[in-house]
Amino acid sequence: MPVPDRRPPRRLVRELVYERFRDGIISGELAPGARLDDGWLQEWLDASRTPVREAIGRLGREGLLDVRPQRGTHVAPLDAAALLDRLAVITALIVASTAEAVPLLTEDDDAELTRLEAALEDAPLSDPVVLEPLEFFVARYGNRLLVTIVDNLLPHLRRALVAVSRADDGSRAVPPVRSALAAARRRDREATTDGLRAHLDEVADLVRTTLGDGSTR
């Protein structure tokens, strides 16, 4: 029997490095605006130059890093105006795809909705589960392009929620998304989209009041 190669396959290494890097940005361990030196990153991510450079490129395209020739790589600043722009796009796409997805739900989906509802009960704002309902409805609709776009936007939102909850000691309650999940189980399309919209509007308010200068566009 050949000795199994215990190194993870190359594709997996790339993915792992990217995810570790992205999670460091989301959690704030890599602070907004921080300058990231290639050598330091290789050490911090415990990876060689190629996957690190690749992750830098991808995170640059997703807007989580500012990558400029001659000026180095910086963690993108936590900019309330840019976040609100992203939120406006996410809200429109989530509400529209959820309206299409609700009539397509099955009994299997109800089990997942129930699980999410329970998980959200005591979740702090910084918990990734807070945004999972959005991913759930987008996935159920099945528009692949939409999944990609939302996947690119959500890390920004996750980072914002972590920053918001740090700014007020995690005392802030999770905005009302559980009502949307219950409405989806009743196949009440309107109440579901209304609940999600209210959820995202409250997130936008938190971003505006906690991270912004309080002004609106």
Partner 1 sequence: MTDATTGRSRRLLRDEVYDEIRTAILDGTLEPGEPLTDEDVMRWLNVSRPPVREALNRLADVGLVEIHAHKRTRVASLDVRDINEALFVTGVLHEASIRASVGQLDDAARDDVIRYRDEVRAAADDDDRPSLGPAVSEFFLTFERATGNQVMVDTVEAQTARLLRFLTPRQGLVSPGALADTVDAIAAAALDGDAARAGDLAHALYEPTRRNFVELHRTV
Q: For partner 1, give the closer residue by CB, 63 or 124.
A: 63
> Tokens in use for 133?
């309902």
Question: Does 82 contact partner 1 by CB under 8 A?
Answer: yes
What is the closest distance, in whole angstroms, from the C-beta atom of residue 57 to partner 1 in the complex?
Answer: 17
Buried/exposed code over 31-65 (b: 16+ C-beta within 10 A; e: otherwise): ebeeebeeeebbebbebeeebbeebbebbeebebb
Given a contact cutoff of 8 angstroms between Cβ atoms, the answer to whether 30 and 59 are in contact is no
Question: Does 108 contact partner 1 by CB under 8 A?
Answer: no
Q: Which of 39, 145, 214, 215 binds partner 1 (CB under 8 A)?
A: 145
Question: Does 15 contact partner 1 by CB under 8 A?
Answer: no
Q: Which of 14, 22, 140, 159 binds partner 1 (CB under 8 A)?
A: 140
Instruction: In whole angstroms, give the CA distance from residue 6 to residue 26.
Output: 30
What is the closest distance, in whole angstroms, from the C-beta atom of residue 94 to partner 1 in the complex?
Answer: 10
Given a contact cutoff of 8 angstroms between Cβ atoms, the answer to whether 153 and 90 are in contact is yes
Question: Does 16 contact partner 1 by CB under 8 A?
Answer: no
Stated length of the chain? 217
Piece in contact with partner 1 (CB under 8 A), picked from 115-123, 136-144, 176-184, 191-199? 136-144
DSSP state of 128: G
Q: Which residue from 112, 86, 96 is spatially nearest to 184, judged by alpha carbons? A: 112
Residue 166 to residues 28, 123, 161, 188, 200, Cα–Cα distance (Å):
10, 14, 8, 35, 19
Q: For partner 1, give the closer residue by CB, 67 or 146.
A: 146
Q: Which of 69, 70, 144, 215 binds partner 1 (CB under 8 A)?
A: 144
Please tell me the chain's helix, strand, coil percentages from 3-state DSSP, rounded to the nearest 5: 70, 5, 30
Pick out residues in 158-187 that bind partner 1 (CB under 8 A). none
Q: For partner 1, give the closer residue by CB, 24 or 212.
A: 212
Number of residues engaging partner 1 in binding (CB under 8 A): 23
Which spans of this chain sit near partner 1 (rule: CB under 8 A)?
A: 82, 85-86, 88-89, 91-93, 96-97, 100, 104, 139-146, 149, 153, 217
